[in-house]
Amino acid sequence: MRRYSQQKRFLFAVDCIIFGFDGQELKLMVIQRGFEPFRGKWSLVGGFVGEKESAEDAAARVLKELTGLDGLYMEQLHAFSAIDRDTVERTVSITFFALIDIQQYTQQIIEHYHPAWFSINELPDLIFDHTKIVELAKEKLRYKAALHPLLFELLPAKFTIPQLQNLYQCVYNTGFDKGNFNRKLLSTKLLMKLKDKDKLGSKKGAFYYKVDTKKYNASLNSFLNLVPGQNSWK
């Protein structure tokens, strides 16, 4: 194999920020690092890119190997390349964020690396620059959610509008007026009302809805005005 002469070699890694929603809170999955340095400390799900795989393929493989999860919504976030970000060797990391409905994947989690879910507002200390990575991922999620209805990836197949409002409030860490939220949400025409209700929260209950997948795929900008001011973010 030909190589560029007089060039230093360094490691190429991926790190995955896995956001999940359990119906009450937005959470982040972390694992206990399996090797030194910082063995046993909390870490993002990550690993090194193989010689014959892309960063996207490596991220999907790492997710499957370390957590048992596959088929997730996943999107590239950013490249982290600070010279001293890893205390062992120079390592460049391509980061990805993934979205899942926690309840759907409960039985697929591999326990070997002791994966755990933490509230996005009560995270443990993370190794290296992983806290910085999570903060950037939160910003990107808020920006994307204001432009596109991707937060549906965090919900079960059928859900109530109060559940969806709660999810948005968790993501943006703020409250939304119920009437305005409902009106803007329904004006997108992306939801299909079902006949059954969730009666756990009240005697009257709340109707379940599901996503109209055809309209979802055809109208990715339908949520532009659901979150006031967010579409001006950079």
> Any idea where the domains of the chain sit in the sequence?
11-147, 152-232
Rounded mean pLDDT for each run of 10 residues along the chain, 234 residues in total: 83 97 94 92 96 96 89 94 95 96 86 91 96 97 87 92 94 92 86 88 82 75 57 38
Q: Provide DSSP, 21-62.
A: E-SS-EEEEEEE--SSSSTTSEE-EEEEPPTT--HHHHHHHH
What's residue 67's pLDDT? Answer: 86
Q: What angle do CA 84, 138, 18 make, to 5 degrees?
A: 80
pLDDT of 38 reads: 95
pLDDT of residue 231: 45
Contact indicator for 20, 154 with CB cutoff of 8 Å: yes
- Protein fold of 11-147: Nucleoside Triphosphate Pyrophosphohydrolase (3.90.79)
In the chain, what are the helix, strand and coil shares in percent, each to the nearest 5? 30, 25, 40
For residue 209, which of 186, 189, 192 has the smallest C-alpha distance? 192
Nearest CA among 228, 207, 28, 3 for reference residue 121: 28
To the question of domain 152-232 being in CATH 1.10.10.10, the answer is yes
pLDDT at 158: 93
